[in-house]
Amino acid sequence: MTATRLQTKHHTASCNHLLLIEDERDIRESVREILEFEGFQVLEAANGREGLEILKKVPNPCLILLDLMMPVMDGWQFAQALSNDTNSQAVPVILVTAFAEKANTIPCAGVLKKPYDIDHLLSHVKRHCRGEGADQ
């Protein structure tokens, strides 16, 4: 994926924090625990609007993990808002959804289909945040 590599290069390899936008608290907590264990810093948002608020303060996370079906502001609306945000529009987005077929309406760096496994999660995160396995 050329686009992905370009976006990865755009972010420095030292970038350590990523944004997780997910309304299910238990999924958020599990993902955060796993990623913190691996040495990442996770910024959590329960919906798209909270995600945009976080981006105002931290505009350049190495990656956004984006759930689609959420209250207040869903994944589609968030992706739309992100594409108009000049500070953060280059941040790669991994969509996380049980309905993978609905994901193709949003331009993204990858899709994680629920229920996803830890290896997929880590390989996406490491690729975008540490440049690991970018040529796989």
Partner 1 sequence: MKETHSVDLLLGIVQRLSLARDLQTIVDLVRHGARELTGADGATFILKEQDQCYYVDEDAIGPLWKGRRFPLEACVSGWTMLHHRSALIEDIYDDPRVPTEAYRPTFVKSLVMVPIRTEAPIGAIGTYWARRFRASPRQVKLLQALADSTSIALENLTLYSDLSRSLAETRSARDELARQLHLRDEFISICAHELKTPLTPLTLQIQFLHRLLLSGPPAGAPQEDAVKSGIRKFLAISNRQISDFSKLIDNLLDASRINLGHFNFSLQNDVNLSAIIRKVIAEYQAAGFNELKASISENLRGRWDPLRLEQAMRNLISNAVKYGEKKPIEISAAPDRDGQVRVIVKDHGFGIAKEDQERIFNRFERAASMRRYGGVGLGLYITREIVQGLGGTIHVESERNQGAAFVMRLPVRPPIATHGAA
- Residues near partner 1 (CB under 8 A) are 24, 26-27, 29-31, 33-34, 36-39, 68-72, 74, 76, 98-99, 114-119, 121
Residue number, 5 or 102, with CB nearest to partner 1:
102
Closest contact distance (angstroms) between CB of 133 and partner 1 is 16
DSSP 116: P
Residue number, 6 or 69, with CB nearest to partner 1:
69
Residue number, 2 or 115, with CB nearest to partner 1:
115
Which three-class secondary structure state does DSSP give residue 107? coil
Closest contact distance (angstroms) between CB of 72 and partner 1 is 7
Enter the tokens of residue 121: 């999660």
Q: CA 132, CA 46: separation in Å to the nearest integer?
A: 28
**C-beta separation of 118 from 53 below 8 A:** no
